[in-house]
Amino acid sequence: MNFKEMNYILCIAKHQNLTKAAQELYISQPTLTKYLQKLEQEVGGKLFARSGNSYIATYLGRRYMEYAKKVLEVNQDWQKELKDLTSCNEGELNIAFPLMRSSCMVPQIMEVFHKQYPGVRVNLREETYAIQEKLLLDDQLDFAIFNEAKPHPKLEYETLLREEVLLVMPAGHPLADLGVIRSGKEYPWIDLRLLAREPFILHFPEQTTGHIALELFEKYGICPSVPIRTRNTVTCVKLCQKGLGLCFIPENYMKNIELLKKPMCFSVGDDGAYSTLTIAYRKGAYLPVYAQDFIRIAQQNL
């Protein structure tokens, strides 16, 4: 077993195709075929069963890859620690972010982090969904940031931000006066039952804000019209400002979106509606000092 061969086999398994794997590895397809044939001779069996142009891992192949992943993870941890011990704050971070969160979170974090670690390269993987699953599958990711999800036993979690999910109305909306000022609350509170006949622009149900909206509607026994759904939070707000419907938005988005005219925001739910943003990394994985500081800076600057 050597690192190159392990990476080659894992890449073939990922694509189930030699040509695509060779393209990703920047080698020729005949070269990759020779590596595979040589390794199969060494282990004494087939790592892949071929079906047309598809390469499907055999039981032997799957067992090989289980050990290969462990070896590569240990080597990756060693390389990170070695850099910590021998370099002057140089290194690399690979972080998975929610696509729509990136624009309103990254500038705040990176402004502070880059001053402290100018030699650390940060690669942001902006993802649209299933970020926790991507962290579990992609060994190159150091950690991931996403909304609360069902905890996985192979991951460690830290709370990054607990924020209120706000109801948004265009400025001057005729129902805005129904908001009630509550002691100690930043935003006026409004009873969602009063908005039952209003159209809503929502995120999709698998998105955190979309899921929270549906829970609120169910709790208050209303079923408003939803003429538009979108994954894009900025689009939600801008459509709302055009008078096409009300929407829900996490507070941190609202504070960081650049708009010519701010809409009106309200608290909803008995005690407010909230979502939790977490940061997760693999249990037992080595996090360099600069990675630990990135987490600390994120917690302090959001």
Burial class (CB in 10 A: 0-12, 13-18, 19+), 209: buried
Q: What rounded mean pLDDT belongs to the chain?
A: 90
- At residue 178 the predicted structure's pLDDT band, cuts being 50, 70 and 90, is very high
High-pLDDT (> 90) share of the chain, %: 63
Residue 301 pLDDT exceeds 90:
no
Segment 166-179 shows an average pLDDT of 94
Buried b (16+ CB within 10 A) or exposed e, 147-169: bebeeeeebeeeebbebbbbbbb
Neighbours of 218 (CB within 10 A): 10
High-pLDDT (> 70) share of the chain, %: 98
At 225-283, the pLDDT tens digits run 999 999 889 899 999 999 999 999 999 888 888 788 889 999 999 889 999 999 999 99
Least confident range from 32-46, 52-66, 96-110, 207-221: namely 96-110
Contact predicate 291/120, CB 8 Å: no
Segment 150-165 shows an average pLDDT of 91
Walk me through the domains of the chain, giving residue ranges and CATH numbers: 3-81 (1.10.10.10), 84-160+277-300 (3.40.190.10), 162-276 (3.40.190.290)
Higher confidence at residue 166 or residue 301?
A: 166
d(CA 68, CA 89): 29
Predicted pLDDT at 91: 85
Predicted pLDDT at 51: 87
Residue 85 pLDDT exceeds 70:
no
CA angle 47, 48, 54 (to 5 degrees): 160
d(CA 220, CA 208): 19
Residue 157 pLDDT exceeds 70:
yes
Residue 88 pLDDT exceeds 70:
no
Stated pTM of the model: 0.67
- Give the CB-side neighbour count of residue 252, counting CA atoms within 13 A: 23
Residue 167 pLDDT exceeds 80:
yes
Rg for the chain, CA atoms, rounded? 24
Segment 64-80 shows an average pLDDT of 88
At 90-147, the pLDDT tens digits run 889 999 988 777 777 888 899 999 999 998 999 999 887 788 888 888 888 999 998 8
Residue 289 pLDDT exceeds 80:
yes
